[in-house]
Every structure is written in structure tokens, then in C-alpha cells.
Copies of this chain bind each other. A is one copy, B any other.
Amino acid sequence: MFKEEVAERYKLIQDAICTGLEVADGKGKFEEEIWERDGGGGGRTRIMQNGAIIEKGGVNFSAVHGKLPAAVKKAFNVTEEDFFATGVSIVIHPSHPLVPIIHMNIRYFELNEETRWFGGGIDLTPHYVFENDARFFHHKLKTACDDFDKDFYQKFKSSADDYFFIKHREETRGIGGIFYDRLTPKNTDLSFSKILEFSVNIGETFLPIYTELMDRNYEKDFTEKQKDWQYHRRSRYVEFNLVYDSGTKFGLETNGRIESILMSLPPQANWGYNVNPTADSEEYKTQQFLKKGINWI
């Protein structure tokens, strides 16, 4: 069945990414927890802590099914009773302040033959924005999209800008990336099989992108001030995830596996009062990049 094929392909992506990240980190190992969901299905949560570069990272796979909670039916505006959902979710918090935080998610949701869709995306949250890295990141995403539809990158880039926005701070979480949801043959030129290939392609794009960004930055010297800024930027990451992120809210409201959902939160975050970098500082420059609509191509 198609849904089983999706889950199998996603598992392979989880495996490949974990192996690749362990090699890139050189020290940290993922610890796995296999869990089962009361209502049906389960997952493989894999967490690395205190690696050489990765301070805390999660690469989680899940494939769950069962009765749709009433809240979800309402949110999705559907009347079906049964659901199936599978996905891979990644958040990596590096210890080095010049290596960016990265997030990836690919997911497939199915109610029945008629009502099913793919969603996902990759976005980057550098503590310090380096323009070369930002261009490299967005260029890679564009290439991954262009093979499937020349309009995807622009559309999904713009969705990521809108989605990863911290309204109360009036800033984006990072430099965005791509974000797509409810992709079906009806709103694309692609069959479901082809959308699966697109989804897998996004999954396979993650590792070369992130290992390149690790390689470019992890040997750079950094200062105490830069560590402080990293902890400050991480506090904004927490604010976004707890206040706005749909996946997190959905998970908390539907009694998801809390430790898997909140693996996205950083190992350490600091809230100073009224932190305002001085003009012309690197920190100030980074803040100027935390806006919607910047063209990195």
C-alpha cells in the first residue's frame, strides 16, 4: 500500500541522516527510543546529546494511525474517523555559535484515498547570518524544488517566510527556507507517487546541506559574546516553537509523545531583559536579516 511505502522510504531517510550526522559530528551517537502509541502505530525517536558539534539533536520517525481526535477533525475541517500519518522531523542545535540551527520535516497524512496530502520543508536559523551560507542554503533548496516544479521554490520560500514568523517580536525565526503543506495532484502537476519522490528528495537534500554548513563553520574561533548571542537567539527559537509552531501545538493538544515533540527545544536558552545589539555589530546585522521577503537566490 502507498502509505506503507511512504513510511518505509521515510525510515530509510531517517537511517541515512543519522548515519551521516554521526560521521559529520565525529563524536556524538544517536540514542534510539522505540515507542508505541496507545491509539495505534509508534515511532523511533533518535537523540544525540553532547556531540563534538551537535549539542542536542533529534531525528525522529513516526508512523501513527487510529481514530482522529475531535479537535483535529475540526482543525482540518474533515468528517472522517480514521487517519494515518507518517513523517521524519529533525531539529539540530549545534554547540558552536557560528554553526546554524536547522529544522526539517517531511510528512504524509491520509484519511482515505480521496483525502491525503504531503507536507514538509527545511528551514535554517543561524545565530549569525553569513550571506554566503544563506545563499548556498536557498540555492540548494531551489535546485531540489526545480527538478519537480519551477514554481515550487518561490511559492514554498514565501510560505516559509510567513510560517516561521515570531509575531510578537516582529522578526522571522531565521532565514527561512521552504515550507509546503497539503500537496496533492489537485494543486500540483504531480501524481502522488511523484509528490512522494519530491518529499524524499527534500529529505535527501538535508544531509549534504547541513554537513556543508557544519564543515564551513565548526572550526572557526568564537567568543564568549558570540555564545551569549547564541543563547539569546535560542530563546527566540523557544518562543516560536511554544507560541506559534502548529506541529508543537498539535502535539501538545493531542497528547502526543511530549519528549519527542519538545526535542526541538534547545539544550540551553537565555532570556536577558531588553537585549538590543549596538548598531553595526554582527549581532545587529543578523537581526536585519530576520525579515520576510529577502531574496537569497
Q: Which residues of B contact A262 (CB under 8 A)?
A: 239, 271
Asked if A258 and B168 make an inter-chain contact with CB atoms under 8 angstroms apart, the answer reads: yes
Q: Which residues of B contact A271 (CB under 8 A)?
A: 56, 262, 265-269
Tell me whether A213 is interfacial, beta carbon within 8 Å.
no
Bound-complex Cα distance A183 to B273 (A):
32
Asked if A269 and B272 make an inter-chain contact with CB atoms under 8 angstroms apart, the answer reads: no
Asked if B267 and A268 make an inter-chain contact with CB atoms under 8 angstroms apart, the answer reads: no
Q: Work out how many copies of this chain go into the complex.
A: 2
> Can you pick out 25 interface pairs between chain A and chain B where the beta carbons lie within 8 Å of each other?
A47-B274, A49-B272, A49-B273, A58-B273, A167-B252, A168-B255, A168-B258, A169-B258, A235-B265, A238-B238, A238-B269, A239-B262, A242-B242, A242-B243, A243-B243, A243-B252, A259-B273, A259-B274, A263-B273, A265-B271, A266-B271, A267-B270, A267-B271, A267-B272, A268-B271
Bound-complex Cα distance A58 to B238 (A):
21
Category for how many chain A residues contact B: 20 to 34
Tell me whether A231 is interfacial, beta carbon within 8 Å.
yes
Q: Which residue of B lies closest to A238 (CB)?
A: B238
Q: Which residues of B contact A268 (CB under 8 A)?
A: 231, 268-271
